[in-house]
Amino acid sequence: MKKEMCPAVSRLDFLDAAKGTGVLLVVAAHGCLLQMPWASWIYEFYMPMFFVVSGYLFGRRRLAEQPAACRRRIGRLVRTYFTGCGILFALWFVLFPLRGKETDRLGKAVFSILYGRMSDAANPMLADVCWVGPLWFLTLMVCAQLLLTMVLRMDNGTPPRRCLLAAALLAAAQLLRLPPVLLPWCVDTAPMAALLMLVSAWLGERQALERPFTRRTAAVCLCLAIPYLLLNDTYDLHMRYYGRWQDVRGALAFFAAGLCGSLLLLMLCRCLAAVPPLFSGLAALGRESMAVFIGHTFLIWVVDSLFLRLPAFPLSGVVRGAALLLAGTLVPLAGSLLVKRLRRRTPAAV
């Protein structure tokens, strides 16, 4: 009988720790820490990891429960997106009011929010704007969730059908990259995100990530790195992170890197159960990952912009990135926990 390599932990704590680690990497990337050369490879998997976790949880549901779960998820994501964009929109125009020759900023900002994307040089209305910021991830998740639900309805559980569905998503991911302009609400990137969610949903059906990790499991995860190493080329890492591959080879490399890195990160989070304080802290952060994701958007862009306006900004480099990481993580986390505590104390209306 084989021995476990990592201690057994519950599913929720395990996935919460993974989400906590992922949101830490997101805040670190936006706080400039990941612009260091030694950290650039993290761009390969820290966004796909959220799709892997989401697809895994969705796949554990029964087929009859999935449409209702999809509607709840999409409703929550859309409300969060427009709420976050509204707050960011208001803060930017308060801190950086319109001047005489900048009246077009208002129209571009509204268009960018409705379009659901960051800047796009090929689209005049999205050129040199960043009103949505990292909130574009929410619009991508909405489209990927819709696509995943439709694909799972066509899945009969047989290997040939599943291979055909995966190939169709990969082909769609390549075809939608051909237009010169980026499509609204990240429709062009949604098939690749849905493919990552689909594979992880099949793992969720078997509850594969909840089983004890053995040497065989570790070997399978490490073998996923082989196609990535074979397909990798000189594509800019940051561009491939946003899904801007140019051909099928780049799409396959993006998928292999995202899935391989995500599974290895999930394995690491399982092993972190041997360090209870660290594991508990990451799990707590993961349970509030959405609040941290929305909150750091304002803190990273708005607060950092105010700091850079100072005549003698004392922080630079890694120190500045670390300060933004702490502010972008701890402040939204504390705010979310405080709001939940106040809600519990508020008596329910009769």
Q: pLDDT tens digit string along 20-73?
A: 998 988 888 777 665 666 566 677 777 888 999 999 989 888 778 888 889 999
Residue showing tokens 């490399």: 253
Give yes or no for residue 321 having a pLDDT over 90: no
**Least confidently predicted of 224-233, 234-243, 274-283, 323-332:** 234-243
Give yes or no for residue 304 having a pLDDT over 90: no
Output the pLDDT for position 144: 93
CB 159 within 8 A of CB 165: no
Q: Categorize the per-residue pLDDT at 341 as very low, low, confident or very high, splitting at 50, 70 and 90.
A: confident
Angle between helices 136-153 and 48-59 (to 10 degrees): 40
Residue bearing the bigger pLDDT, 145 or 111:
145
Q: Categorize the per-residue pLDDT at 147 as very low, low, confident or very high, splitting at 50, 70 and 90.
A: very high
Q: Categorize the per-residue pLDDT at 96 as very low, low, confident or very high, splitting at 50, 70 and 90.
A: low
| C-alpha–C-alpha distance, residues 190 and 204, integer Å | 20
Q: Residue 275 gets which letter from DSSP? A: S
Of the chain, the percentage scoring pLDDT greater than 90 comes to 15
Residue showing tokens 């080329």: 233
List the domain boundaries for the chain.
11-345
- Rounded to two decimals, what is the model's pTM? 0.86
Give yes or no for residue 143 having a pLDDT over 90: yes
Mean pLDDT over 148-169 rounds to 90
Output the pLDDT for position 92: 73
> How many C-beta atoms lie closer than 10 Å to residue 323's C-beta?
16
CB 75 within 8 A of CB 154: no
Output the pLDDT for position 315: 53
Length of the chain: 350
Give yes or no for residue 334 having a pLDDT over 80: yes
| C-alpha–C-alpha distance, residues 50 and 128, integer Å | 28
Identity at 230, one-letter amino acid code: L
Give yes or no for residue 5 having a pLDDT over 50: no
Mean pLDDT of the chain: 76
CA distances for 236 relative to 33, 44, 82, 138, angstroms:
18, 11, 31, 24
Q: Categorize the per-residue pLDDT at 307 as very low, low, confident or very high, splitting at 50, 70 and 90.
A: low
CB 187 within 8 A of CB 154: no
CA distances for 200 relative to 19, 55, 60, 193, 212, angstroms:
15, 5, 10, 11, 17
